[in-house]
Amino acid sequence: MKIAVIGANGQLGCDICSAFLADGHEVIPFNHDVMDITDLDRARAKLAEARPQVTINTAAMHNVEVCEAEPLKALKVNGLGARNLAILANELDFALFHISTDYVFDGRKKSPYIETDYPLPLNAYGNSKLCGENFVRSIALRHFVLRVSGLYGANPCRAKSGMNFVRLMLKLSRERDEVRVVDDEVLTPTFTEDIARQILALSKTSHYGLYHVTAQGSCSWHKFAAKIFELTGAKVRLQVADPNEFAAKVARPKYSALENRNLQEIQLDLMPSWETGLQNYLRKIGALY
């Protein structure tokens, strides 16, 4: 298959390119300097030239604080950019994968969210991503909308200065005797390679629709940090931070664990537990104890 990957040099985009290349597909990577998804005409020209059978959009404005400060820009990229690709999916006849987020939920449910749960974003980022989801779901005839959560991968996250939570914990454990992490935010951290493998599997089907694609289980940031230190043998004291110690400037869901219910229903849930994903990631970056 011929696959176009948008945001190809991003944290998730790099792993998607590698997964499809390793499976023998032709991959056409698009970085931001070549294709801006907010520019419909340019995106049309690039995709018409490439003629992909599948296009995977990982591009987003997803720094939560920046989105809150610039909500119209966030809406333009995450909402209207996704709409542009949905229009092109029909015009140019490709299946569209679009990456969304757990931040479409408000976190009040306290048990894993499934795809039919009502989204109610708390911030501009979540609102703009929900808008993008809705455009893709209502316009693109062949779409896969994937909600992911707490990404970490071997390639730098471009929107977050190259830093993911695992790398930050490893850095702090080298620099300090004590690290303090909040215990009141629960999610499912997910290794980007696992998502890439899941996308590859879905791309071989015509089970179009909305999917939660996260590792199995859930943990607080504190529990995740504890596992990181255990698996890397880091000699650092881990303490629970006071809920207001790192008071976030922007409201975020306190609970955003997702259940991969729709993947289970089509018997294609390949996602490992969050502990296994972390172990594989640490092995990959040479940090496993």
Which span (10-18, 88-96, 215-223, 237-245) binds ligand NAP, by CB under 6 A? Answer: 10-18
229 phi-psi bin (left φ>0, alpha ψ -120 to 50, beta other): alpha
58 touches ligand NAP by CB under 6 A: yes
Classify 110 as helix, strand or coil: coil
Q: What sections of 70-220 are H helices per DSSP?
A: 71-74, 81-92, 124-139, 165-175, 192-203
Distance CA 101, CA 74 (A): 14
Contacts of 220 (CB under 8 A, 6+ apart): 182, 183, 184, 185, 186
Q: Is 125 a catalytic residue?
A: yes
Which span (1-9, 18-26, 46-54, 209-217) binds ligand NAP, by CB under 6 A? Answer: 1-9
Question: Which tokens in the block code for residue 284?
Answer: 């990959």
Least Å distance, CB 13 to ligand NAP, is 6
Distance CA 210, CA 134 (A): 10
148 touches ligand NAP by CB under 6 A: yes
User: Which residue among 103, 113, 125, 211 is the active-site one?
Assistant: 125
Which span (89-97, 105-113, 149-157, 171-179) binds ligand NAP, by CB under 6 A? Answer: 149-157
Q: How many residues bind ligand NAP (CB under 6 A)?
A: 30
Which residue among 17, 47, 56, 59 contacts ligand NAP (CB under 6 A)? 59
36 touches ligand NAP by CB under 6 A: yes
Catalytic residues: 125
